[in-house]
A and B are shown apart, each in its own frame.
Chain A
Amino acid sequence: TQLLEQSPQFLSIQEGENLTVYCNSSSVFSSLQWYRQEPGEGPVLLVTVVTGGEVKKLKRLTFQFGDARKDSSLHITAAQPGDTGLYLCAGHGGAQKLVFGQGTRLTINP
C-alpha cells in the first residue's frame, strides 16, 4: 500500500514568516501534485511535478520533487493571510489512482 505522510498536520504562523510543508513516502511516484482546499470547497490543483529534482515556482510558493521521486516539499516565502487553507499532496501511483496525504492545515495570522 502506498502512503504519503504530510508534516506538519497543523501550522499557525505570523504574516511575513516563511514555512515549509513536507510530503514523504517510501514509494516512488510517477508524479506528485499539490492542492489547496478552502473551507466548503473542493481541492484546487496548484502544481504537478514530474521529474526527480524538479523545482516549480508559483509566485511565493516553491515546490520541489525529491530526486528519488519519493518526497516533495512546499515552501512559502513571506506568508500572507490569503495563504491560509488546507494543503494536500497527492502522488500518482499508477493508472487512475492518486494517493493523498492527510493534509496540512495552514493558518497565517495578520
Chain B
Amino acid sequence: DAGITQSPRYKITETGRQVTLMCHQTWSHSYMFWYRQDLGHGLRLIYYSAAADITDKGEVPDGYVVSRSKTENFPLTLESATRSQTSVYFCASSGRGLNNSPLHFGNGTRLTVT
C-alpha cells in the first residue's frame, strides 16, 4: 500500500544501547522529517532531509543521527539511548517542502528507554 510506514511500532531498549527507527515512504517525496512528541512540548523537529544525501538539523538533534541514502528511506539512529529520549517518534514526508505541499505523517514509534 502507498504511504509512509514506520517500524517498529513499539520498542523498549536499555540506556546506552544503539537503536534505529525506520521510516519508508512510497510517494517519492523529496522531503522527509523526524519529529518527537512529548507531553507538554507538542511535536519537535529532530532532523529533516530535502533529498537523498542531504540532511539538516532541526530543533532537538543532539543524540540522534540520520542518513538518507535512498529517497524512500530515512532511518533515525539513537547512538547511545538515554531515558530522556523516551518518546513517540513520528516520521513525515512532503512532496515539495513545507512552502508548497502538505506534511504526511506515519503512525509513529513509541520508544521506551529503561
Contacts and interface: CB of A to CB of B under 8 A. Distances in A.
- Asked if A pairs with B, the answer is yes
B103 A41 contact: no
Interface string A49-72: 000000000000000000000000
B45 A97 contact: yes
Nearest to B50: A96
Given A96-B33, A96-B56, A96-B97, A41 B44 contact: no
Interface residues of A, number: 22
Contacts of B40: 102
Nearest to A38: B107
Nearest to A90: B43
A93 B109 CA distance: 26
B58 interface: yes
Contact of B31 (A44, A45, A96): A96
Contact of B41 (A30, A95, A102): A102
Interface in A87-110: 88, 90, 92, 95-98, 100-103
A97 B33 CA distance: 10
A48 interface: yes
Contacts of B56: 96
B57 to A, nearest CB: 11
A42 interface: yes
Given A88-B43, A96-B31, A103-B42, A41 B107 contact: yes
A21 B59 CA distance: 26
A40 interface: yes
A24 B95 CA distance: 28
Interface of B: 31, 33, 40-45, 48, 50, 56, 58-59, 90, 92, 97-99, 102-108
Given A43-B105, A100-B43, A102-B42, 8 more contacts: A33-B103, A41-B108, A42-B90, A42-B92, A43-B43, A96-B48, A97-B98, A100-B42
